[in-house]
Amino acid sequence: MPRFIHLAPESVVKRIRRNGIQPTKIRGWGPRWHLPGTDRLVWSFPVTPNYVVSHQWLRELKRWGVRTLVAVVFRIDDDEVVFARHYSEVPREMSAATAVGVILSHPEPLGYEVMIPRRIKPSEIVAVRHMTQKLGWRTNPRPREASFCTCPMCVPPGTVKAARRRAQFEEVQDRRAIAKVNAARAERGMPPAVFRASPIA
């Protein structure tokens, strides 16, 4: 049974021990991520041999004002349905065991996450651990690459400049789509396409 780490504020540890890990509402992001019928998720990352990689999201999550985070370790069945992705990509449905295998075999696992579409029961929690609060990356695991996320976890509703960040994200996605189309046209000896509007509906 694979083990995962969910980072949570220290102030809610008692509630988690009593009621488990409650999923976060994703509002209208289900259809956008092609997850029909899914309206809440528990964010996590697999336990790996690398301690820093396992807790890589700590500094990024602390940007939103949480003073101290703890690692809640839990275990779920191998064939449990989860969604895995790099934070700049659309989630893909797979089993928990497959998600762990994909991330462990990836040469650059920074920025990946696994989402479970249900509450984690208290009986599934293995441990709650305190750790140093200086682990992980901030804003981008690879600073030289312009890639960011505007999901409900990274940009909670009401966050300052949230609308601007989402607009910037859409613009970057449009530019990447145009670059991909023009690269394919160049391979076929065709001139670059000229878009009068966004190529993404």
CB 31 within 8 A of CB 99: no
Q: Is 66 exposed, middle or buried (0-12, 13-18, 19+ CB in 10 A)?
A: middle
Check: CB of residue 122 under 8 Å from CB of residue 20.
yes
Average pLDDT of 61-90?
A: 91
Average pLDDT over residues 137-160: 65
Give pLDDT, residue 166. Answer: 67
The segment with the largest mean pLDDT, out of 34-48, 104-118, 169-183, is 104-118
Mean local confidence (pLDDT), 175-197:
67
| Highest mean pLDDT pick, 72-81, 101-110, 147-156 | 72-81
Domain-by-domain residue ranges, the chain? Answer: 3-129
22: pLDDT strictly greater than 90: yes
Q: Taking a C-beta distance cutoff of 8 angstroms, is the pair 26, 42 a contact?
A: no
Give the whole-angstrom CA distance, residue 167 versus residue 150.
Answer: 9
- Separation of alpha carbons 32 and 47, rounded Å: 28
Mean pLDDT of 86-111: 91
Q: What is the pLDDT of residue 186?
A: 75
Q: Is the pLDDT of residue 112 over 50?
A: yes
Q: Quick check: 27 pLDDT over 60?
A: yes
What confidence category does residue 200 fall into, taking pLDDT thresholds of 50, 70 and 90? very low
Q: What is the mean pLDDT of residues 176-180?
A: 68
Q: Using pLDDT thresholds of 50, 70 and 90, give the confidence band for residue 62.
A: confident
What's this model's pTM, rounded to 2 decimal places? 0.71
pLDDT over 90, % of the chain: 48
Average of per-residue pLDDT values in the chain: 82
Q: CA–CA separation, 195 vs 201, rounded Å?
A: 13
Let me know if 79 is exposed, middle or buried by CB neighbors in 10 A (0-12, 13-18, 19+): exposed
pLDDT over 50 at 80, yes or no: yes
